[in-house]
Amino acid sequence: MALQITAARPDPAIFDLPWDVPLEDWPEHHLAALPRGISRHVVRFVRLSGRVIAVKEIKAELAQREYQTLQLLRRLGQPAVEPLAVIAGRTDAQGHELDACLVTQHLKFSLPYRAIFSQRLRPDTARRVLDALAVLLVRLHLGGVYWGDVSLSNTLFRRDAGEFAAYLVDAETAEVHNQLSNGQRNHDLTIAHGNIAGELMDLAAGELLAEDADALEIADRLMHRYELLWRELTATERFEHGDRWRVDERIRRLNNLGFDVGELEMSTDLDGTHIQIEPKIVDAGHHSRRLLRLTGLDVEENQARRLLNDLDAYSASQDRQNEDEELVAHDWLASIYEPVTRTVPPELRSKLEPAELFHELLEHRWYLSERADQDVPLEHAVEDYVATVLPSKPDEVAVLGLDTQEIPIRTKG
């Protein structure tokens, strides 16, 4: 039986992969040693044409459905992995049928939750990871997406200026509607609470969660964070005439949460004394879109906020607040951002992506300045960071040398 390949832009090199071999038996020279999350299916990271792809072995009809769902999510601008192909019609050397494979683009600098917790990060790591998942779930629900299997295992996380950004990685059960009912949203939340509480208990059993952390309490906080965001983004507010500043305040509040208001619906009561405002289209990425427009840098939202803060500080220090913003941004990019990120030796550039690196350099400069009780030049901060901090960072762009499916789980006793 001939291979059946579904792909928008197939890479010819994909034909050279050993599709006649079960995925779990693929030769090591094809594989990339990146951290994997827990999955019901066999998943492998594979090197292809100088990049890394994720290959998941799954029934053909499920692979096709998930491929189409991921394509739709990408078109809707939802944070999800990019689908590349479905490989069906596979048989082994003896002619036995093999399951199909779904191929997706590996999300660079992303980590499964077990890899994050295994690094023993700051005590509030659980809160920050759950906050990222809550934001992802709100975005999906606002876009009419019912996930159906919300969990940490089905999510990838990227560092975003000290916080985390979450991406949907498993869309087997996802459905896209014009709008979700409260019942659909609540069902997703019920699934999320149960799955996440169980995953955190599993981390606690493996001593990967802080001893004083309560898995159920953390899962409850996810529900609270979700409801807070959902109310902020969808609640109807009423204002008296003359309260225009409150309208602006609402928009600013949404922006500070990382969202934009795309449309407002305003209506007056019969007596003409009230205005009703309801966000109709709300999207994430206010700061990242502004930075992309000004500089061409396509980064995460918190990274963009931090870089824009530095751009504004640069503008003030040069007394250029009244100049064209795009011209000032071009000069900042050419004289500050690019020289600083190029200062890092080539052998250390795979430690962090450039925007995250620049964020950490700014943090390091602030620390040095506080310790010295005076402003430390950026050049000195870069030299000190490269010499004392960056070499000890894990290599996030390539190989962490850790398969999170093999992290031992130890029960306390």
Q: Name which of 143, 153, 141 is nearest 56 in CA terms.
A: 153
Q: What is the DSSP string of 133-170?
A: HHHHHHHHHHTTEE-SS--STTEEEEEETTEEEEEE--
CB atoms within 10 A of CB 146: 18
The reported pLDDT for the residue numbered 363 is 87
Going by pLDDT thresholds of 50, 70 and 90, the confidence category of residue 104 is very high
**183 class by beta-carbon count within 10 Å (0-12 exposed, 13-18 middle, 19+ buried):** exposed
The model's confidence at residue 374, banded by pLDDT at 50, 70 and 90, is confident
Judged by DSSP in three states, 392 sits in helix
Q: Delimit the domains of the chain by residue range.
A: 4-106, 111-234, 237-284, 287-392
Is the pLDDT reported for residue 242 higher than 90? no
Q: Which amino acid is at 17?
A: L
Condensed to tens digits (0 to 9), the pLDDT of residues 29-67 reads 999 877 666 678 899 999 998 889 999 999 999 999 999
Q: Give the pLDDT confidence score for residue 241 in this predicted structure.
A: 60
In the chain, what percentage of residues exceed pLDDT 90? 39
320-366: pLDDT as tens digits: 878 888 899 999 999 999 998 888 888 887 788 888 889 889 889 88
**pLDDT of 111 over the 80 cut:** yes
Report the chain's mean pLDDT, rounded to a whole number: 83
Q: What is the DSSP letter of 335?
A: I
Higher-confidence residue: 259 or 207? 207
pLDDT for res 162 = 66
Element (H, E) at 266: strand 259-268
Give the pLDDT of residue 252.
75
| Residue 342: per-residue pLDDT | 87
Name the CATH code of domain 4-106 (choices 1.10.12, 3.30.2310, 3.30.420, 3.30.200): 3.30.200
Angle at alpha carbon of residue 236, lines to 230 and 238, rounded to 5°:
145
pLDDT band at 121 (very low <50, low <70, confident <90, very high): low
Task: Report the pLDDT value the prediction gives residue 182, as an integer from 0 to 100.
Answer: 95
Strand ranges across the sheet with 259-268: 237-240, 274-284, 259-268
pLDDT number for residue 278: 60
CATH top-level class of 111-234: mainly alpha
Regarding predicted confidence, which is higher, 291 or 208? 291
Query: What's the pTM value of the predicted model, to 2 decimals?
Result: 0.74
The whole-number pLDDT of residue 352 equals: 84
pLDDT for residue 276 is more than 60: no
For the ranges 6-10, 92-96, 359-363, 392-396, the lowest mean pLDDT is seen at 392-396
In tens, the pLDDT along 10-30 reads 889 999 999 999 999 999 999
Give, rounded to a whole angstrom, the gap between the first and last alpha carbons of the chain: 54
Q: What was the pLDDT predicted at 346?
A: 83
CA–CA separation, 337 and 288 (whole Å): 16
Answer whether residue 176 shows pLDDT above 90: yes
Q: Give the residue carrying structure tokens 């040398």.
A: 401
Predicted confidence (pLDDT) at residue 219 exceeds the cutoff of 60? yes
101-105, 220-224, 232-236: least confidently modelled range: 232-236
Per-residue pLDDT at 153 exceeds 50: yes
Percent composition of the chain: helix, strand, coil (DSSP 3-state, to 5):
45, 20, 35
Is pLDDT above 50 for 412? no
Predicted local confidence at residue 306, as pLDDT: 86
Q: Report d(CA 102, CA 150) in Å as an integer.
A: 20
Return the residue matching tokens 């949460």: 257
Above 90 in pLDDT, residue 141? yes
